[in-house]
Amino acid sequence: MSKVAIVTGAGSGFGFGLSKELLKLGYVVYATDANSTSLKAIEELGAIGRRMDVTIQNDVDAVIKEVLADQGRIDLMVANAGFGNFSSIEETSPEEVQKLFAVNVFGVEKCIRAVLPQMRKQGSGRILMTASVVAHVSLAGLGWYAATKHSVRAIANALRQEVKDLGIQVSVIEPGTVKTNFDSIAFGHLRDSRSISDYDKVMLGLNKWLGGMYRNSPGPNRVISKMVRAATAKRPKAIYPASLDVRALKVVFYLFPRSWVDALVLWLAKR
């Protein structure tokens, strides 16, 4: 019997790549995205594409209902849908903050809440959540985005403990700087939505420094490989750092005094 996976944000980036690899492994893949047009490529490879906006409860419920009616089980939920919106704390509008949390946190909440009853009934299942290195390392311009990924990490840590004895496994993927559609959206906002000149020195420097890291970073293959490992390992790890920059930034952030970290970030931004 083929295993059944639901992947959110599957129209591009990590979600698309993971869906593609799961199809090769024989999974029945329900590839979901808020933009149904973006799913055509993965549907051509054999996935079942469904429009699902993770911020809309009816969308999530409809997909879960269809999967259970057609397949009778859910083996893997990949809560991957998310986006970045880089700006200073003050320059990010309340509406933009709410949208970030609606997708990156409450979208994850809706997805895992929807599959847990079936996974408990089965006595098996696996949940993957896409976090980020900024679940540990919050930097100037990334505060609100980092807050959403801190939340994902906290949710995953608690849930992993709660469901361990129920046969359900929970893992977090932590990408670092990776060249995908994500950076064009996040840095586009940082470039085009500025409103307070007092932050120019830090924000423009951040755009140059961190934006340069993204533009020169590798593609998503390494992250996708870690996601496949998390999805298929007999004993999956709790956390999968997906690149060397993730490990390095975590070491710097946790081992050095916060004043040193602040000074380093501001030095890099103001060069």
- Measured torsion, CA atoms of residues 134, 138, 141, 144, in degrees rounded to the nearest 10: 80
- As a whole number of Å, the end-to-end CA separation of the chain is 57
In 3D space, the residue among 224, 208, 196 whose CA is nearest the CA of residue 271 turns out to be: 208
In 3D space, the residue among 151, 65, 63, 74 whose CA is nearest the CA of residue 106 turns out to be: 151
Residue 197 burial (C-beta neighbours within 10 Å; 0-12, 13-18, 19+): exposed
In the structure encoding, which two tokens stand for residue 193, read together? Answer: 């939505």
Catalytic residue chosen out of the listed positions 27, 30, 145, 199:
145
- Residue 211 has a CB neighbour count (10 Å cut-off) of 18
The alpha-helical segments, DSSP class H, found in 72-166 are 94-104, 106-122, 143-163
In the structure encoding, which two tokens stand for residue 205, read together? Answer: 């420097």
The question of whether 145 is a catalytic residue gets the answer: yes
Catalytic residues: 145
